[in-house]
Amino acid sequence: MNNSSIITAAPEETRGVGEDLGRYLFSSSVVALIGGLGSGKTTLVQGIARGLEVSPPVRSPSFVLIREYAGHLPLYHFDLYRITQDKEILNLGYEEYFYQKRGVVVIEWADRIKRYLPSEYLGISMSIVDTSSRKITFRPRGALYQQIVEKMRDHLKREI
């Protein structure tokens, strides 16, 4: 599978990439975000929410672990920053979100749940380039996610 990267110059550009991505996601999509503090994960999720036509503003769910939002497709936003043990992951009931609910699952700090991810998902690595710029690298796992990355690549070329 081909990885693809983009560098955004400002938070609103990162949201814009997320918004475009949100338009391509499908019911039962799983998006696994990995990146350090301040790398733009929540900002990207805010954009995905816009693309899914989610109305209330998306916030980091650090203290509740999972927030659910209604939109064109439901958005299930996981933030696993505070998770430190496998038993905490198992107690989340993640299987219901991955395999039974019909919506889009976006997981911040997905490296903490990596062994429990489905076999196919869209991995996204985020890193800080400078104070306002972020590097977003798409790592598709599976043909459907590869198609999304190809659409994103085509769309972003037209934008540049």
Number of domains comprising the chain? 1
d(CA 160, CA 87): 45
Domain that holds residue 20: 4-159
Amino acid code (one letter) for 19: E
Q: For residues 36 and 56, what is the distance between their CA atoms, to the nearest angstrom? A: 25
Query: 3-class DSSP state for residue 125?
Result: strand
139 CB neighbour count, 10 Å cutoff:
18
Q: How far apart are CA 124 and CA 50, in angstroms?
A: 18
What does the pLDDT look like over 82-136, one tens digit per residue? 888 888 888 888 889 888 878 999 999 999 999 999 999 999 999 999 999 999 9
Q: What pLDDT, in 10s, does the model give residues 13-41?
A: 999 999 999 999 999 999 999 999 999 99
State the CATH number of the domain containing residue 100: 3.40.50.300
